[in-house]
Structure 1
Amino acid sequence: MNESELRVLPLVVRIERAAPPERTDALEAAAMAVLSLLGDPGEWAAELHAWEVTGRIRKVVRRARGAEWRRALALPGRTIEHRTAEVRVHPPVPLDDWPRDLARLQVSGTELTDTAEPGPATQPTLWANPALTMSAGKAMAQAGHAAQLAWWASDAAERAAWRAGGPAVSVRTAGGNAFEAKVEAGLPVVRDAGFTEIAPGSCTFVAEAPWLYGRVARS
Protein backbone atom coordinates (compact mmCIF):
# COMPACT_ATOMS: atom_id res chain seq x y z
CA MET A 1 0.00 0.00 0.00
CA ASN A 2 1.39 3.40 -0.95
CA GLU A 3 1.22 6.47 1.27
CA SER A 4 -1.49 8.11 -0.85
CA GLU A 5 -3.91 5.32 0.16
CA LEU A 6 -3.34 5.70 3.88
CA ARG A 7 -5.96 7.43 6.00
CA VAL A 8 -5.97 8.90 9.47
CA LEU A 9 -8.69 9.65 11.98
CA PRO A 10 -8.57 13.30 13.14
CA LEU A 11 -9.42 14.10 16.75
CA VAL A 12 -9.53 17.68 18.01
CA VAL A 13 -9.46 18.49 21.71
CA ARG A 14 -10.66 21.86 22.94
CA ILE A 15 -8.04 23.48 25.17
CA GLU A 16 -8.94 26.99 26.21
CA ARG A 17 -6.20 28.83 28.09
CA ALA A 18 -8.44 29.77 31.00
CA ALA A 19 -10.11 26.38 31.40
CA PRO A 20 -8.17 23.40 30.02
CA PRO A 21 -9.78 20.00 30.53
CA GLU A 22 -8.62 17.43 33.04
CA ARG A 23 -6.21 14.97 31.46
CA THR A 24 -8.24 11.86 32.32
CA ASP A 25 -11.44 13.48 31.05
CA ALA A 26 -9.73 14.25 27.73
CA LEU A 27 -8.43 10.69 27.36
CA GLU A 28 -11.83 9.21 28.10
CA ALA A 29 -13.54 11.65 25.74
CA ALA A 30 -11.17 10.68 22.92
CA ALA A 31 -11.89 6.98 23.42
CA MET A 32 -15.63 7.64 23.56
CA ALA A 33 -15.43 9.73 20.38
CA VAL A 34 -13.81 6.82 18.54
CA LEU A 35 -16.43 4.41 19.88
CA SER A 36 -19.20 6.77 18.82
CA LEU A 37 -17.99 6.67 15.24
CA LEU A 38 -17.45 2.90 15.25
CA GLY A 39 -20.88 2.20 16.70
CA ASP A 40 -22.76 4.62 14.46
CA PRO A 41 -20.75 5.86 11.46
CA GLY A 42 -23.84 7.33 9.82
CA GLU A 43 -23.03 9.17 6.60
CA TRP A 44 -19.30 8.43 7.01
CA ALA A 45 -19.57 4.65 6.70
CA ALA A 46 -17.57 4.57 3.46
CA GLU A 47 -14.77 6.71 4.87
CA LEU A 48 -14.64 4.58 8.01
CA HIS A 49 -14.50 1.36 5.99
CA ALA A 50 -11.69 2.69 3.77
CA TRP A 51 -9.72 3.54 6.91
CA GLU A 52 -10.35 0.26 8.77
CA VAL A 53 -9.56 -2.10 5.90
CA THR A 54 -5.96 -0.88 5.75
CA GLY A 55 -5.40 -2.39 9.21
CA ARG A 56 -3.61 0.81 10.25
CA ILE A 57 -5.88 2.61 12.67
CA ARG A 58 -3.76 5.73 12.88
CA LYS A 59 -5.18 8.68 14.80
CA VAL A 60 -3.84 12.20 15.18
CA VAL A 61 -4.91 14.52 18.00
CA ARG A 62 -4.72 18.27 17.50
CA ARG A 63 -5.72 21.09 19.83
CA ALA A 64 -7.99 24.06 19.22
CA ARG A 65 -9.29 27.08 21.10
CA GLY A 66 -11.52 30.05 20.36
CA ALA A 67 -11.98 30.64 16.64
CA GLU A 68 -10.00 27.49 15.82
CA TRP A 69 -12.52 25.39 17.74
CA ARG A 70 -15.43 27.12 16.03
CA ARG A 71 -13.92 26.36 12.63
CA ALA A 72 -13.51 22.71 13.63
CA LEU A 73 -17.17 22.63 14.65
CA ALA A 74 -18.14 23.86 11.18
CA LEU A 75 -16.52 20.82 9.55
CA PRO A 76 -18.20 17.40 9.32
CA GLY A 77 -17.72 15.59 12.59
CA ARG A 78 -19.16 14.71 15.97
CA THR A 79 -18.43 16.28 19.36
CA ILE A 80 -18.23 14.32 22.59
CA GLU A 81 -18.66 16.31 25.79
CA HIS A 82 -17.39 14.43 28.84
CA ARG A 83 -17.16 16.23 32.16
CA THR A 84 -14.50 18.95 31.62
CA ALA A 85 -13.49 17.79 28.13
CA GLU A 86 -14.74 18.38 24.60
CA VAL A 87 -13.33 16.25 21.81
CA ARG A 88 -14.45 16.34 18.19
CA VAL A 89 -13.95 13.33 15.94
CA HIS A 90 -13.95 13.88 12.19
CA PRO A 91 -14.39 11.25 9.46
CA PRO A 92 -11.10 9.65 8.33
CA VAL A 93 -9.13 11.63 5.78
CA PRO A 94 -6.21 10.80 3.48
CA LEU A 95 -2.90 11.13 5.30
CA ASP A 96 -1.71 13.88 2.94
CA ASP A 97 -5.03 15.65 2.30
CA TRP A 98 -6.46 17.08 5.53
CA PRO A 99 -9.12 19.81 5.45
CA ARG A 100 -7.30 23.12 5.74
CA ASP A 101 -8.92 24.15 9.03
CA LEU A 102 -7.78 20.89 10.62
CA ALA A 103 -4.33 20.81 9.03
CA ARG A 104 -3.49 24.23 10.46
CA LEU A 105 -4.17 23.11 14.06
CA GLN A 106 -1.21 22.32 16.30
CA VAL A 107 -0.30 18.82 17.45
CA SER A 108 2.02 20.11 20.18
CA GLY A 109 0.79 21.86 23.29
CA THR A 110 -1.54 19.13 24.53
CA GLU A 111 0.05 18.87 27.96
CA LEU A 112 -2.77 18.36 30.43
CA THR A 113 -2.87 17.36 34.08
CA ASP A 114 -5.44 16.11 36.56
CA THR A 115 -6.09 18.53 39.39
CA ALA A 116 -7.70 15.75 41.44
CA GLU A 117 -7.39 11.98 41.58
CA PRO A 118 -9.83 10.33 39.14
CA GLY A 119 -12.68 8.44 40.77
CA PRO A 120 -13.17 4.66 40.75
CA ALA A 121 -12.87 3.05 37.32
CA THR A 122 -15.77 1.31 35.65
CA GLN A 123 -15.33 -1.28 32.94
CA PRO A 124 -14.41 -1.36 30.17
CA THR A 125 -11.22 0.18 31.51
CA LEU A 126 -8.33 1.28 29.31
CA TRP A 127 -5.12 0.88 31.30
CA ALA A 128 -2.06 2.97 30.44
CA ASN A 129 1.44 1.53 30.75
CA PRO A 130 3.02 3.23 33.80
CA ALA A 131 6.50 2.73 32.34
CA LEU A 132 5.86 5.10 29.43
CA THR A 133 5.70 8.89 29.39
CA MET A 134 3.28 10.30 26.83
CA SER A 135 1.87 13.75 26.15
CA ALA A 136 -1.88 14.03 26.62
CA GLY A 137 -2.35 14.14 22.84
CA LYS A 138 -0.35 10.97 22.32
CA ALA A 139 -2.17 9.22 25.17
CA MET A 140 -5.53 10.29 23.74
CA ALA A 141 -4.71 8.64 20.43
CA GLN A 142 -3.51 5.50 22.20
CA ALA A 143 -6.65 5.35 24.35
CA GLY A 144 -8.64 5.62 21.13
CA HIS A 145 -6.69 2.67 19.72
CA ALA A 146 -7.40 0.62 22.85
CA ALA A 147 -11.10 1.37 22.67
CA GLN A 148 -11.14 0.36 19.01
CA LEU A 149 -9.35 -2.94 19.65
CA ALA A 150 -11.81 -3.69 22.45
CA TRP A 151 -14.71 -2.93 20.09
CA TRP A 152 -13.29 -5.23 17.43
CA ALA A 153 -12.82 -7.99 20.02
CA SER A 154 -16.46 -7.78 21.18
CA ASP A 155 -19.30 -9.72 19.58
CA ALA A 156 -22.61 -8.21 18.49
CA ALA A 157 -24.39 -8.80 21.82
CA GLU A 158 -21.46 -7.41 23.80
CA ARG A 159 -21.32 -4.35 21.58
CA ALA A 160 -25.06 -3.78 21.99
CA ALA A 161 -24.78 -3.95 25.78
CA TRP A 162 -21.76 -1.64 25.69
CA ARG A 163 -23.53 0.88 23.46
CA ALA A 164 -26.47 0.91 25.86
CA GLY A 165 -24.10 2.39 28.41
CA GLY A 166 -22.88 5.21 26.23
CA PRO A 167 -20.60 3.45 25.24
CA ALA A 168 -18.54 4.64 28.20
CA VAL A 169 -15.00 3.78 29.23
CA SER A 170 -12.64 4.61 32.06
CA VAL A 171 -8.98 5.45 31.49
CA ARG A 172 -6.50 4.83 34.28
CA THR A 173 -2.79 4.10 34.72
CA ALA A 174 -2.04 0.57 35.85
CA GLY A 175 -0.06 0.21 39.05
CA GLY A 176 2.92 -1.97 39.88
CA ASN A 177 3.12 -5.09 37.71
CA ALA A 178 -0.59 -4.99 36.89
CA PHE A 179 -0.05 -3.82 33.31
CA GLU A 180 2.16 -6.78 32.40
CA ALA A 181 -0.31 -9.17 34.04
CA LYS A 182 -3.18 -7.80 31.98
CA VAL A 183 -1.14 -8.12 28.79
CA GLU A 184 -0.42 -11.76 29.64
CA ALA A 185 -4.13 -12.38 30.28
CA GLY A 186 -4.91 -12.15 26.58
CA LEU A 187 -6.62 -8.77 26.65
CA PRO A 188 -6.50 -6.38 23.65
CA VAL A 189 -3.15 -4.57 23.69
CA VAL A 190 -2.04 -1.51 21.75
CA ARG A 191 1.47 -1.83 20.31
CA ASP A 192 2.60 1.52 19.01
CA ALA A 193 3.96 1.96 15.49
CA GLY A 194 6.61 4.35 16.78
CA PHE A 195 5.77 7.40 14.65
CA THR A 196 6.05 9.79 17.62
CA GLU A 197 7.32 9.98 21.21
CA ILE A 198 7.92 6.29 21.99
CA ALA A 199 9.77 3.34 20.52
CA PRO A 200 8.12 1.09 17.90
CA GLY A 201 6.41 -1.94 19.39
CA SER A 202 5.89 -0.37 22.82
CA CYS A 203 2.78 -1.63 24.60
CA THR A 204 0.94 1.56 25.50
CA PHE A 205 -2.54 0.53 26.59
CA VAL A 206 -4.50 -2.62 27.41
CA ALA A 207 -8.30 -2.80 27.37
CA GLU A 208 -10.03 -4.72 30.15
CA ALA A 209 -13.63 -5.89 30.46
CA PRO A 210 -15.05 -9.21 31.73
CA TRP A 211 -15.83 -10.44 28.22
CA LEU A 212 -12.43 -9.52 26.76
CA TYR A 213 -10.24 -12.02 28.60
CA GLY A 214 -8.57 -14.45 26.24
CA ARG A 215 -9.79 -12.63 23.14
CA VAL A 216 -7.47 -12.00 20.22
CA ALA A 217 -8.14 -8.54 18.76
CA ARG A 218 -6.88 -7.22 15.45
CA SER A 219 -3.90 -4.89 15.83
Structure 2
Amino acid sequence: MTTGAVLAPLRARYARWLGMDADQVLDDRDEAAVDVRALQLVLRLERDRPPSWHGALALAAAGAALVCLDPRSEPGGPWHDAVRDYCAGHIRKVTRRARGASWAGTADLPGVSLAAGDTEIRALVPGRVVEVPKAVAKLQVGGTEVEPDRPSSAPDDPAALELWLPLEPVMTLGKAMAQAGHAGMIAAALLAGDDPAELDRWYAAGCPVQVRGRSERFAGLAARLADPAAAWSGDRLLAVRDAGFTEVDPGTVTVVARAPGGRPHPGPSTA
Protein backbone atom coordinates (compact mmCIF):
# COMPACT_ATOMS: atom_id res chain seq x y z
CA MET A 1 0.00 0.00 0.00
CA THR A 2 1.38 3.41 -0.96
CA THR A 3 1.18 6.21 1.60
CA GLY A 4 2.45 9.24 -0.31
CA ALA A 5 4.27 10.26 2.87
CA VAL A 6 6.86 12.32 0.98
CA LEU A 7 4.08 14.56 -0.37
CA ALA A 8 3.06 15.90 3.05
CA PRO A 9 4.87 19.28 2.58
CA LEU A 10 3.13 19.84 -0.76
CA ARG A 11 -0.24 19.08 0.83
CA ALA A 12 0.47 21.46 3.72
CA ARG A 13 1.21 24.49 1.55
CA TYR A 14 -1.20 23.86 -1.34
CA ALA A 15 -4.05 26.19 -0.27
CA ARG A 16 -1.63 28.93 0.84
CA TRP A 17 0.09 28.91 -2.55
CA LEU A 18 -3.21 29.25 -4.38
CA GLY A 19 -4.10 32.25 -2.22
CA MET A 20 -0.96 34.27 -2.95
CA ASP A 21 -1.05 37.35 -5.16
CA ALA A 22 1.49 37.80 -7.98
CA ASP A 23 3.94 39.77 -5.80
CA GLN A 24 3.84 37.10 -3.10
CA VAL A 25 4.49 34.42 -5.72
CA LEU A 26 7.57 36.34 -6.88
CA ASP A 27 8.86 36.68 -3.30
CA ASP A 28 8.19 33.04 -2.47
CA ARG A 29 9.97 31.54 -5.46
CA ASP A 30 13.45 32.88 -4.66
CA GLU A 31 16.09 30.34 -3.60
CA ALA A 32 19.82 29.88 -4.00
CA ALA A 33 20.83 28.29 -7.30
CA VAL A 34 22.61 25.44 -5.52
CA ASP A 35 19.37 24.52 -3.75
CA VAL A 36 17.14 24.39 -6.84
CA ARG A 37 15.71 20.90 -7.34
CA ALA A 38 13.64 19.67 -10.25
CA LEU A 39 11.93 16.58 -11.57
CA GLN A 40 13.08 15.94 -15.13
CA LEU A 41 10.48 14.84 -17.68
CA VAL A 42 11.96 13.36 -20.85
CA LEU A 43 9.74 13.24 -23.94
CA ARG A 44 10.63 10.92 -26.80
CA LEU A 45 10.41 13.04 -29.93
CA GLU A 46 11.47 11.05 -32.98
CA ARG A 47 11.40 12.82 -36.35
CA ASP A 48 9.15 10.21 -37.97
CA ARG A 49 6.95 9.41 -34.98
CA PRO A 50 5.53 12.48 -33.21
CA PRO A 51 3.92 11.96 -29.82
CA SER A 52 0.30 12.69 -29.01
CA TRP A 53 -0.06 16.12 -27.38
CA HIS A 54 -2.84 14.96 -25.07
CA GLY A 55 -1.15 11.61 -24.49
CA ALA A 56 2.09 13.27 -23.40
CA LEU A 57 0.22 15.38 -20.84
CA ALA A 58 -1.53 12.31 -19.45
CA LEU A 59 1.75 10.41 -19.14
CA ALA A 60 3.48 13.40 -17.50
CA ALA A 61 0.75 13.65 -14.85
CA ALA A 62 0.84 9.92 -14.22
CA GLY A 63 4.63 9.73 -14.24
CA ALA A 64 5.19 12.52 -11.71
CA ALA A 65 2.64 10.96 -9.37
CA LEU A 66 4.07 7.47 -9.80
CA VAL A 67 7.59 8.60 -8.87
CA CYS A 68 6.29 10.08 -5.61
CA LEU A 69 4.07 7.11 -4.80
CA ASP A 70 6.58 4.40 -5.72
CA PRO A 71 7.59 2.08 -2.84
CA ARG A 72 11.16 3.26 -3.41
CA SER A 73 10.03 6.78 -2.35
CA GLU A 74 8.59 5.52 0.93
CA PRO A 75 10.64 6.01 4.13
CA GLY A 76 13.66 3.73 3.98
CA GLY A 77 13.50 3.37 0.20
CA PRO A 78 16.40 4.29 -2.11
CA TRP A 79 14.51 7.25 -3.63
CA HIS A 80 13.07 8.58 -0.39
CA ASP A 81 15.60 11.27 0.53
CA ALA A 82 15.72 12.73 -2.99
CA VAL A 83 11.93 12.85 -3.38
CA ARG A 84 11.42 14.08 0.20
CA ASP A 85 13.85 16.97 -0.25
CA TYR A 86 12.23 17.87 -3.56
CA CYS A 87 8.71 17.91 -2.14
CA ALA A 88 9.86 20.01 0.81
CA GLY A 89 10.98 22.82 -1.51
CA HIS A 90 9.77 24.42 -4.72
CA ILE A 91 8.10 21.92 -7.02
CA ARG A 92 9.92 22.55 -10.29
CA LYS A 93 9.84 20.37 -13.37
CA VAL A 94 11.86 20.53 -16.58
CA THR A 95 10.72 18.87 -19.81
CA ARG A 96 13.44 17.80 -22.21
CA ARG A 97 13.25 16.07 -25.59
CA ALA A 98 15.24 13.07 -26.74
CA ARG A 99 15.45 10.77 -29.73
CA GLY A 100 17.45 7.76 -30.82
CA ALA A 101 20.60 7.15 -28.80
CA SER A 102 19.87 10.10 -26.51
CA TRP A 103 16.56 8.53 -25.51
CA ALA A 104 18.19 5.13 -24.98
CA GLY A 105 20.86 6.80 -22.85
CA THR A 106 18.33 7.77 -20.19
CA ALA A 107 16.81 4.29 -19.84
CA ASP A 108 18.80 3.23 -16.79
CA LEU A 109 18.34 6.42 -14.77
CA PRO A 110 16.17 6.17 -11.63
CA GLY A 111 12.55 6.93 -12.39
CA VAL A 112 9.60 5.56 -14.34
CA SER A 113 9.08 5.12 -18.08
CA LEU A 114 5.56 5.19 -19.54
CA ALA A 115 4.17 4.66 -23.01
CA ALA A 116 0.82 4.96 -24.75
CA GLY A 117 0.93 4.15 -28.45
CA ASP A 118 3.66 6.25 -30.07
CA THR A 119 3.96 8.51 -27.01
CA GLU A 120 6.73 7.77 -24.51
CA ILE A 121 8.03 9.71 -21.55
CA ARG A 122 10.32 9.22 -18.59
CA ALA A 123 9.77 10.87 -15.21
CA LEU A 124 13.10 10.84 -13.37
CA VAL A 125 13.74 10.93 -9.65
CA PRO A 126 14.21 14.63 -8.80
CA GLY A 127 17.48 16.13 -7.72
CA ARG A 128 19.53 19.31 -7.65
CA VAL A 129 19.63 21.03 -11.02
CA VAL A 130 23.39 21.55 -10.68
CA GLU A 131 23.79 17.77 -10.37
CA VAL A 132 21.71 16.65 -13.36
CA PRO A 133 23.23 13.51 -14.96
CA LYS A 134 25.16 14.19 -18.16
CA ALA A 135 22.76 12.03 -20.18
CA VAL A 136 19.98 14.42 -19.18
CA ALA A 137 21.89 17.71 -19.15
CA LYS A 138 22.73 17.37 -22.85
CA LEU A 139 19.05 17.05 -23.83
CA GLN A 140 17.37 20.15 -25.20
CA VAL A 141 14.65 21.87 -23.20
CA GLY A 142 13.16 23.74 -26.18
CA GLY A 143 11.68 22.39 -29.36
CA THR A 144 8.75 20.54 -27.80
CA GLU A 145 6.15 22.19 -30.05
CA VAL A 146 3.71 19.49 -31.16
CA GLU A 147 0.37 20.16 -32.85
CA PRO A 148 -2.44 19.26 -30.41
CA ASP A 149 -4.51 16.25 -31.41
CA ARG A 150 -8.09 15.64 -30.34
CA PRO A 151 -8.68 15.37 -26.59
CA SER A 152 -10.24 12.34 -25.00
CA SER A 153 -13.98 12.03 -25.61
CA ALA A 154 -14.37 9.25 -23.05
CA PRO A 155 -17.05 9.74 -20.38
CA ASP A 156 -15.91 11.12 -17.05
CA ASP A 157 -14.14 8.35 -15.15
CA PRO A 158 -14.26 8.78 -11.35
CA ALA A 159 -11.19 6.51 -11.12
CA ALA A 160 -9.01 8.82 -13.25
CA LEU A 161 -7.43 12.22 -12.73
CA GLU A 162 -9.12 14.59 -15.18
CA LEU A 163 -7.27 17.67 -16.51
CA TRP A 164 -8.41 20.89 -18.18
CA LEU A 165 -6.08 23.61 -19.58
CA PRO A 166 -6.93 27.26 -20.35
CA LEU A 167 -7.59 28.59 -23.83
CA GLU A 168 -5.07 31.34 -22.99
CA PRO A 169 -2.17 31.43 -22.46
CA VAL A 170 -1.16 28.81 -25.00
CA MET A 171 1.73 26.79 -23.61
CA THR A 172 4.28 24.67 -25.45
CA LEU A 173 3.88 20.94 -24.97
CA GLY A 174 6.92 20.87 -22.67
CA LYS A 175 5.49 23.58 -20.43
CA ALA A 176 2.07 21.95 -20.40
CA MET A 177 3.63 18.61 -19.47
CA ALA A 178 5.35 20.21 -16.48
CA GLN A 179 2.03 21.67 -15.34
CA ALA A 180 0.25 18.35 -15.81
CA GLY A 181 2.96 16.65 -13.78
CA HIS A 182 2.36 19.11 -10.96
CA ALA A 183 -1.37 18.35 -11.09
CA GLY A 184 -0.60 14.66 -10.68
CA MET A 185 1.52 15.37 -7.62
CA ILE A 186 -1.08 17.65 -6.02
CA ALA A 187 -3.82 15.07 -6.56
CA ALA A 188 -1.67 12.39 -4.94
CA ALA A 189 -0.77 14.70 -2.04
CA LEU A 190 -4.37 15.64 -1.27
CA LEU A 191 -5.63 12.07 -1.57
CA ALA A 192 -2.85 10.87 0.72
CA GLY A 193 -4.21 13.14 3.44
CA ASP A 194 -7.94 12.69 2.89
CA ASP A 195 -8.60 9.35 1.20
CA PRO A 196 -5.70 6.87 1.40
CA ALA A 197 -7.91 4.06 0.08
CA GLU A 198 -8.70 6.03 -3.10
CA LEU A 199 -5.03 6.90 -3.46
CA ASP A 200 -4.11 3.24 -3.20
CA ARG A 201 -6.68 2.31 -5.87
CA TRP A 202 -5.40 5.05 -8.19
CA TYR A 203 -1.80 3.98 -7.73
CA ALA A 204 -2.61 0.29 -8.22
CA ALA A 205 -4.31 1.19 -11.53
CA GLY A 206 -1.18 3.02 -12.72
CA CYS A 207 -2.47 6.54 -11.91
CA PRO A 208 -4.80 6.84 -14.96
CA VAL A 209 -5.36 10.35 -16.37
CA GLN A 210 -7.92 11.83 -18.75
CA VAL A 211 -6.79 15.04 -20.49
CA ARG A 212 -9.65 17.22 -21.73
CA GLY A 213 -7.23 19.72 -23.24
CA ARG A 214 -7.64 23.46 -23.75
CA SER A 215 -11.24 23.97 -22.77
CA GLU A 216 -13.90 26.67 -22.56
CA ARG A 217 -14.88 25.09 -19.28
CA PHE A 218 -11.56 26.04 -17.71
CA ALA A 219 -12.55 29.54 -16.53
CA GLY A 220 -15.67 28.34 -14.76
CA LEU A 221 -13.85 25.49 -13.08
CA ALA A 222 -10.97 27.75 -12.04
CA ALA A 223 -13.40 30.23 -10.46
CA ARG A 224 -14.52 27.51 -8.08
CA LEU A 225 -10.96 27.30 -6.75
CA ALA A 226 -11.36 30.67 -5.00
CA ASP A 227 -12.08 28.46 -1.98
CA PRO A 228 -9.63 25.57 -2.42
CA ALA A 229 -10.94 23.63 0.58
CA ALA A 230 -14.56 23.77 -0.61
CA ALA A 231 -13.61 22.89 -4.19
CA TRP A 232 -11.70 19.87 -2.94
CA SER A 233 -14.23 18.62 -0.42
CA GLY A 234 -17.13 19.10 -2.84
CA ASP A 235 -15.93 17.82 -6.22
CA ARG A 236 -12.25 17.09 -5.56
CA LEU A 237 -11.23 19.97 -7.77
CA LEU A 238 -7.66 21.25 -7.56
CA ALA A 239 -5.54 23.74 -9.47
CA VAL A 240 -1.92 24.27 -10.49
CA ARG A 241 -0.55 27.78 -10.09
CA ASP A 242 2.73 28.57 -11.83
CA ALA A 243 5.65 30.51 -10.39
CA GLY A 244 6.18 32.24 -13.73
CA PHE A 245 9.77 31.33 -14.57
CA THR A 246 8.90 30.52 -18.20
CA GLU A 247 6.11 31.22 -20.72
CA VAL A 248 3.42 32.46 -18.29
CA ASP A 249 3.10 35.28 -15.75
CA PRO A 250 3.73 34.57 -12.06
CA GLY A 251 0.60 33.27 -10.38
CA THR A 252 -1.06 32.02 -13.58
CA VAL A 253 -3.42 29.08 -13.03
CA THR A 254 -2.35 26.62 -15.71
CA VAL A 255 -4.35 23.46 -14.96
CA VAL A 256 -7.59 22.61 -13.22
CA ALA A 257 -8.06 18.97 -12.32
CA ARG A 258 -10.60 16.63 -10.78
CA ALA A 259 -8.95 14.02 -8.60
CA PRO A 260 -9.98 10.35 -8.67
CA GLY A 261 -13.20 9.73 -6.79
CA GLY A 262 -14.66 13.17 -7.46
CA ARG A 263 -18.19 13.63 -8.76
CA PRO A 264 -18.33 13.58 -12.58
CA HIS A 265 -19.30 16.90 -14.16
CA PRO A 266 -22.34 16.77 -16.47
CA GLY A 267 -22.17 17.65 -20.12
CA PRO A 268 -19.52 17.26 -22.83
CA SER A 269 -16.05 18.71 -22.61
CA THR A 270 -15.11 21.41 -25.12
CA ALA A 271 -11.63 21.83 -26.55
CA gap 1:210/1:78 in 2 versus in 1, 3 angstroms: closer
Q: 2:143 aligns with which of 109, 115, 130?
A: 109
| Cα shift at 1:175 | 3.0
TM-score, normalised by the number of residues in structure 1: 0.89
Unaligned runs of 5+ in 2: 1-30, 73-77, 225-230, 232-236, 264-271
Deviation at 1:116, TM superposition (A): 4.5
Aligned to 2:165: 128
Out of 11, 15, 25, the residue aligned to residue 55 of structure 2 is 25
* Cα displacement string for residues 114-160 of structure 1 (whole angstroms, at most 9, x for unaligned residues): 44453325332011112220000000000001111111111311201
Aligned match of 2:110 = 76
| Paired positions, count | 211
* Percent of matched pairs sharing the same residue: 38
Distance in 1 separating the partners of 2:70 and 2:139 = 26
Provide the rounded CA distance (Å) in 2 between the counterparts of 1:115 and 1:156.
34
Determine which structure has the larger helix proportion and give its number: 2
Q: Check 1:97–1:168 CA distance in 2 against 1; reply closer, same or farther (3 A cut).
A: same
Q: Paired residue for 2:256?
A: 206
Higher radius of gyration, 1 or 2 = 2
Structure 1 partner of 2:43: 13
TM superposition outliers: structure 1 runs of 4+ over 4 Å: 210-213
CA 1:21–1:96 in structure 2 vs 1: closer, same or farther (change >3 Å)? same
Task: Identify which of 61, 76, 79 aligns with 1:44.
Answer: 79
Partner of 2:23: none
CA shift, 1:41, in A, is 4.9
Unpaired segments of 5 or more residues in structure 1?
214-219
Comparing 77-86 with 42-51, greater Cα deviation is found at 77-86
The corresponding residue for 1:158 is 198
Letter in 2 for 1:206: V
Distance 1:97 1:27 in 2: 26
* Kept after mapping to 2: 8 A contact 1:127/1:171: yes
Show the counterpart of 1:216.
Answer: none
1:87-128 CA deviation, whole Å, 9 max, x = no partner?
111111102221111011001111112444533253320111
Q: Distance in 2 between matches of 1:22 and 1:211?
A: 26
2:123 to 89, 95, 106: 89
Normalising by structure 2, we get a TM-score of 0.73
Q: In 2 relative to 1, CA 163–75 (structure 1 residues): closer, same or farther, beyond 3 Å?
A: closer
Q: Alignment partner of 2:95: what SS?
A: strand
CA distance in 2, matches of 1:77, 1:95: 16
Is residue 190–residue 203 contact of structure 1 (8 Å, CA) maintained in 2? yes
* Structure 1 residues 135-214: aligned runs within 5 Å: 135-154=172-191, 155-176=195-216, 178-185=217-224, 186=231, 187-209=237-259, 211=261
Contact 1:78 1:88 in 2 (8 A): yes
**Structure 1 residue 211: deviation in Å?**
4.5
